[in-house]
């Protein structure tokens, strides 16, 4: 099993490019099932979750061609299976995203209930209720979702009881081939949903309101092939910015979109960072100074993202002052706290809020990653710590960060992957 060894206390300095967004690429790859035409997708990141989705698509019969530049060609004209088996789905919750496309185009889908990170409940009820409102017959038995419909799905007005990103994506994809109009109320507003909508529109779909809380889809009979480039990863961007801030460094990130990170950039500015932006780049400079503690609460976009909570907590561990971080999205997303405490962090948990008193420095220690974003926070803490840190179970990191040790090495980090 691979580990990361990091010798910390070195300011990051330099520039790197940001990869395509995993959370945009996964639903877009699932959406290739909606069309019999040839689809070209650029800027796909090389990640474990992407490999899992490609394997899942390949198992259904989608013909896939990949190149070394992150481009994928997909041909779903000869799909032979509507089954997403447990051995693939168990490793990635986003596998549920094939449910809507398979059901809408073929009238059938058998998808195992998803697995993935253990950061708390991510119920699929909103997906299933929405599809049932569109005329699907759904049974859940023995850990599998069995969905069927005769003919086309029917457009419906769907009021989701909670804001759900994957639920919004699944229902939006299903509605593109439904008969009539579908309106999604209380829809998620994340930029990745807008990227998916733009992809579907390029295929011929009629979608209005993506990026707002109400999305309207006019169903059509068939979607065509298209070409699309995946948006840059805003969470990868935020993670590297936080890495520079925690190490008192100075970096420039290229191929990104500053407008997608306003809440994160505001908090990093509060922490004392000097930030400049262009149309597709962001620079951050701490001027060698220790960060200032910043308090925050996570909330759906455009508020502060839950996927950056752990990284900001790592920053606060060595910041000057005391901060509070409140997690409102997932009920079990503080699993990194115990590992940070092993490195000398002063953190107290009170329900969904963490009270963090900044310390002068962290110290290296053997620690263990528990989920994707928690693992990123441990890498950040290790970069700032005095001495060597060994991070175990880094397969979590590989699910969401492309070539993380290579990129950090380009910025001057002393980091090495080791196989034990």
Which residues are identified as catalytic? 117
Q: What is the C-alpha to C-alpha distance for residues 315 and 333, in angstroms, rounded to an integer? A: 16
What Å distances lie between residue 403 and 17, 18, 48, 308, 398, CA to CA? 11, 11, 11, 19, 8
- Bond before 302 cis per omega within 30 degrees: yes
Nearest-10 Cα torsion for 348, 354, 357, 359: 90
Q: Which residues of 264-293 are buried (b: 16+ CB within 10 A; e: fewer)?
A: bbebbeebbbebebeeebbbbbbeeebbbb
Place of tokens 């999604």: 184
Q: What is the C-alpha to C-alpha distance for residues 80 and 89, in angstroms, rounded to an integer? A: 18
Q: What is the C-alpha to C-alpha distance for residues 150 and 161, in angstroms, rounded to an integer? A: 27
Q: What is the C-alpha to C-alpha distance for residues 386 and 366, in angstroms, rounded to an integer? A: 13
Q: Which residues of 184-205 are buried (b: 16+ CB within 10 A; e: fewer)?
A: bebbbbbbbbbbbbbbbbebbb
Nearest-10 Cα torsion for 260, 264, 270, 274: -60
Strands (E) located in 272-394:
274-277, 281-285, 296-297, 322-326, 346-350, 353-357, 366-368, 388-392
User: In 4-107, where does DSSP find H-type helix?
Assistant: 22-31, 48-60, 86-89, 99-106
Q: What is the C-alpha to C-alpha distance for residues 217 and 208, in angstroms, rounded to an integer? A: 7
């Amino acid at each position: 099993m691979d580990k990361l060894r990091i010798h910390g206390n070195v300011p990051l300095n330099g520039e790197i490019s940001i990869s395509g967004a995993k959370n945009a690429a996964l639903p877009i790859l699932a959406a290739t099932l909606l069309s019999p035409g040839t689809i070209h997708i650029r800027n796909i990141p090389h990640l474990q979750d992407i490999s899992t989705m490609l394997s899942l698509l390949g198992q259904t019969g989608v013909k896939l061609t990949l190149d070394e530049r992150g481009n994928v060609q997909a041909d779903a004209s000869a799909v032979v299976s509507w089954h997403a088996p447990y051995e693939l789905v168990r490793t990635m919750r986003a596998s549920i995203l094939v449910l809507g496309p398979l059901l809408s185009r073929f009238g059938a889908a058998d998808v195992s209930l998803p697995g993935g990170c253990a950061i708390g409940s991510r119920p699929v009820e909103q997906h299933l209720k929405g599809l049932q409102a569109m005329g699907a017959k759904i049974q859940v038995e023995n850990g599998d979702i069995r969905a069927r419909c005769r003919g086309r799905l029917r457009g419906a007005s769907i009021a989701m009881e909670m804001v759900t990103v994957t639920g919004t994506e699944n229902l939006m994809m299903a509605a593109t081939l439904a008969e009539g109009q579908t309106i999604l109320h209380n829809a998620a507003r994340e930029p990745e949903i807008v990227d998916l909508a733009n992809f579907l529109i390029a295929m011929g779909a009629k979608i209005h309101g993506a990026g707002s809380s109400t999305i309207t889809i006019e169903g059509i009979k068939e979607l065509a092939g298209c070409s699309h480039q995946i948006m840059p990863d805003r969470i990868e961007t935020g993670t590297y910015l936080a890495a520079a801030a925690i190490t008192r460094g100075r970096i420039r990130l290229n191929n990104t979109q500053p407008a997608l990170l306003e809440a994160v950039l505001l908090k990093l500015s509060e922490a004392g960072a000097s930030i400049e932006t262009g149309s597709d780049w962001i620079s951050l400079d701490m001027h060698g100074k220790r960060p200032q503690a910043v308090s925050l609460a996570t909330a759906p976009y455009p508020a502060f993202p839950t996927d950056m909570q752990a990284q900001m907590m790592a920053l606060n561990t060595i910041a000057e002052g005391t901060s509070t971080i409140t997690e409102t999205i997932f009920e079990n997303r503080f699993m990194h706290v115990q590992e940070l405490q092993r490195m000398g962090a002063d953190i107290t948990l009170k329900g969904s809020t963490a009270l963090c008193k900044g310390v002068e420095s962290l110290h290296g220690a053997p620690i263990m990653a528990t989920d994707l974003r928690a693992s990123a926070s441990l890498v950040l803490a290790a970069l700032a710590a005095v001495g060597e840190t060994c991070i175990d179970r880094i397969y979590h990191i590989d699910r969401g960060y492309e070539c993380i040790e290579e990129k950090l090495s380009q910025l001057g980090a002393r980091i090495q992957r080791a196989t034990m």
